[in-house]
Amino acid sequence: MRALCWHDVNDLRVDDVPEPELVNPRDVVLRVTMTTACGSDLHFIDGYLPTMREGDVIGHEFMGEVAEVGRKVEGVEEGDRVVVPSFIGCGRCGYCQDDLWSLCDNTNPNAALQEPVLGDTTAGIYGYTHAFGGYAGSHAEYVRVPHADENCFHVPDELDDEQALFASDAWATGYMGADFCDIEEGDTVAVWGCGGVGLMAQQSAALMGAERVIGIDRFPERLRLAEREAGSETIDYTAVDSVVDALKAMTGGRGPDACIDAVGMEAHGTGPAHAYDRAKQQLKLHTDRGEALRQAIVACRKGGTLSILGVYGLMDKFPLGIVMNKGLTVRTAQQHGQRYVPDLLEYAAEGEMDPSYLATHELELEESPRGYELFKHKEDSCVRPVFVP
C-alpha cells in the first residue's frame, strides 16, 4: 500500500509499505478515507523529536471504513464508518476508567524511552515517534487500530468526512481546552492561537456559554475565521503594543476569566527520552511559544483558569510566582479524545458545530508532502490540509 513516510528531517516521501495486519484479537484494520496533518507533526519533521526512524509512517488524525475485524472485537463490524482518537486507550486500566485516556497505562510499549524524562508513560499515539509507542500512522491506505471497541466511534450517516474527521484530534483537543475552563454565564475566554485547535477551542467555548471569546493570532485570514465561525472578537498581536494591555482594556481592567494557550503547534508530546538538549534548542527556536503562555498568565484575572493545550518541552522562565499569587488554576493534558468524541459527533449531527471549514486543502495521498509544505508555511491560507488515500 502507499503511505507517507518520514525519512529524515524535512524529508517526507510517499512510499510502498506492507499493509498492516491484525496483531491482537481486539484490533481492526481500517481503510483510511480521510486523514489530516497536525501541527505537532511538524516537531519531528523539523527534527526536534529524536525517536523517529527512517521509513516510519506518520499521521495521527483520521477516520475510515473498517476493513478487517479481530475475533474479540465487539460492536465494530466490517464496513462500519468510524473516527478514531489520536491517542490509543485500552479502556480497562485505571486511567481509561477515569476518562483520562491519553494517560492510558497499557498502550505505550516503549516505556523505557519516556520514563527517564516524564517519570511515567503516556498512552501510545499513531505515527508519532517510538517514544510514543512506535505505532504506524494514518497517512496511509490502511492503519491498524488496537483495542478497536474502545477507539472506534461510529460516524452518523448524515455527516461528511470533513465534518467528522477533526473529532479525532483538533476538535477534541480544543473542546477539552474549553471544558477545562468550567465556563459560566458571562465569562470571557481568551484563546492564544487561531489554528485548528485554537479555532475549535473558541467555538467550543462559545458553545459552552462564554459571553465573550477573544482570539489572538497574527494571520488576518485566521482572525477572520475566528470572527466568522466562532463569533470571536480578535486581537492581531502584531498590531498592538501589548496583548496583555489590549485584553485588560477589553475587559474593564480585570482580564479574561479563562485563558487557553493553543499556540502554534498542537498538543501532542513533551520531549521524549534524552531530549533535554533538543528541548532547550527547540525552546530557543520557538521562544514565542513561551511568550504566549507568559502573556496568558499575566493577562488572566485573579482566580482565573489557565488551560494549556500548546506543546512544551522543558520550559524555562515559567512565572510560577504569578500563577501562585494570582491564585490561577492550571489545567492541561494531551487530549482525552474518547471522553468527548460521542458528544462532538452529536453536535455535528445536530448542526450545532461544523468544523469542516478547517479543511482548506483536500489532496490525494500522493500529494501529501506538498500538503505538509503548504501547512508548515501557512501558504495559500492553509489551516489544515486533508489527505484522501
Contact 104, 167 (CB under 8 A): no
Q: Which is nearer to Zn ion, 278 or 384 (CB)?
A: 384
Query: To the nearest whole angstrom, how small is the minimum distance from the Cβ of residue 302 to Zn ion?
Result: 33
| Pairing relationship of beta strands 305-308 and 258-261 according to DSSP bridges | parallel
* Min dist. Cβ of residue 55 to Zn ion (A): 21
To the nearest whole angstrom, how small is the minimum distance from the Cβ of residue 316 to Zn ion?
25
Work out how close the CB of 90 gets to Zn ion at its nearest, in angstroms, rounded to a whole number: 3
Indicate the residue among 28 and 197 with the shorter CB distance to Zn ion. Answer: 197
* Closest-CA residue to 219 (of 206, 232, 236, 199): 236
Q: Which three cell numbers stand for residue 236?
A: 492581531
Distance CA 71, CA 24 (A): 9
Q: How far is the CB of 293 from Zn ion (least distance, A)?
A: 19
Amino acid making up residue 74: E
User: Closest Cα partner for 202 from 222, 221, 219?
Assistant: 222
**229 or 266: CB nearest Zn ion:** 266
Which of 122/295 has CB closer to Zn ion?
122
Distance (Å, rounded) from C-alpha 375 to C-alpha 152? 27
Give min distance, CB of 339 to Zn ion, in A: 12
User: What letter does residue 240 receive in the DSSP assignment?
Assistant: S
For Zn ion, give the closer residue by CB, 106 or 151. Answer: 106
> Rounded to an integer, what distance in angstroms lies between the CA atom of residue 59 and that of residue 36?
7
Nearer to Zn ion, 86 or 188 (CB): 86
| Residues found near Zn ion in the complex (CB under 5 A) | 38, 40, 90, 93, 96, 104, 106, 169, 266, 268
The dihedrals phi and psi of 125, each to the nearest 5 degrees, come to -140, 150
Closest residue to Zn ion in the complex (CB): 38
